[in-house]
Structure 1
Amino acid sequence: MPRQLTSQQVWQAIEKELFAVVGMVTAGHEARTVGILYAVGDHKLYFITDRDTWKVRHIAANPHVSVTIPIAKRVPIMPWMKIPQATITFQGTARICGAGEAMPDLLKKLLGPMADDSALIAGSCLVEIVPTGEFVTYGVGVRLIEMRDPNKARGRAPVA
């Protein structure tokens, strides 16, 4: 039976990371994934991309996405030892809006010093992902040794 985590525990883990893989379905019903750099605001994930990318077209056609956030695990005194990454996976609904609509602090999180580049902002769009349902986790909040036991490593938490 999966461990019960709190949504707060999972959100804390999500906020510590910056990379995720977003899964989507094309208009032709083909599965696609893309790696993104994200920022968190108000329990939503955000990323910026060019306005005319294929991921924007796919999300516009079908806003239902899945997100997987890998979390690196390492043994500090034995960095060569291979440890599976922990993961957080969830479903969500994506919304596309102009990058200029984003709050300045969110743009700073996403773009750093490039947040003031008006030409970059004008050609970009912001994608907001609102998680739905449950977080499904593996290895979140468990010791490394416990990751070997799927019953101890698996977890679930409500999104809200």
Structure 2
Amino acid sequence: MSRPHDAPTPVTSEQVWRTLARQPFLVVAMVNRRGEGRSVGVSPAVDGDDVWFAATATDWKVDHLRHQPEVSLTVPVRRGGVLALVAPIPPATITCRATAQVLTVDEAPDKVRRRLLLGQDVGKAAEAGTVMVRLTPHGDFVTYGVGVSLKAMMDTQRARGRVPVARG
């Protein structure tokens, strides 16, 4: 059975997680104590069904996350290779809701610490005030341009996708 021309291209949760795990950057959107929206770019590490980033315990973003742990993640996914240098190809995107939890450096998995601390000693990182933020996505991944050709990205109906965050 063929898919209608304007139907979204099927994408799987596993495909989105694999794409997310390869990305060097994502944006976390949150709300501060005054109800104002804020966003920050971070370098993530994916471990299982969690996305992690490192921060300093006194950072404004950590204060906001402790106050209001419900956030939104948006991950730009660069597309186009050499073609992107000459054509206006937008990035693909992955967006989802997540719950943030601020943890000590020791509470993060070894794989995450290695990726985010870049060789820094765990004890020294903790002494310097480094904390780890675990983001646990929930609900659905909403995608644009993930798992489709560059040509299909020009058709917004076909380039969109939505799949549960939960794998399987």
Q: Are 1:76 and 2:89 counterparts?
A: no
Q: CA RMSD in A?
A: 1.4
Instruction: Give the match for residue 47 of structure 2.
Output: 41
Q: Are 1:120 and 2:125 counterparts?
A: yes
1:59-95: per-residue Cα shift (whole Å, max 9, x none)? 1111000000001112435622220000000001010
Tell me, in whole angstroms, the C-alpha distance in 1 between the residues paired with 2:85 and 2:33.
43
Q: Aligned pair in 2 of structure 1 residues 153, 128: CA closer, same or farther (>3 Å)? A: same
Tell me, in whole angstroms, the C-alpha distance in 2 between the residues paired with 1:76 and 1:34.
28
The size of the alignment, in residue pairs, is: 159
Q: Are 1:24 and 2:19 counterparts?
A: no
Residues 11-160 of structure 1 correspond to what in structure 2 (within 5 A)? 11-76=17-82, 79-114=85-120, 116=121, 118-122=123-127, 123-160=129-166
Gaps of 5+ in 1: none
Where 2:124 maps in the other structure, the secondary structure is helix
1:106-142: per-residue Cα shift (whole Å, max 9, x none)? 100112222x252223311110000010000000000
Q: Aligned pair in 2 of structure 1 residues 121, 151: CA closer, same or farther (>3 Å)? A: same
The TM-score with structure 1 as length reference comes to 0.93
Tell me, in whole angstroms, the C-alpha distance in 2 between the residues paired with 1:75 and 1:112.
27
The structure carrying a bigger strand percent of its residues is 1
Tell me, in whole angstroms, the C-alpha distance in 2 between the residues paired with 1:87 and 1:78.
16
Where 1:65 maps in the other structure, the secondary structure is strand
Gaps of 5+ in 2: 1-6
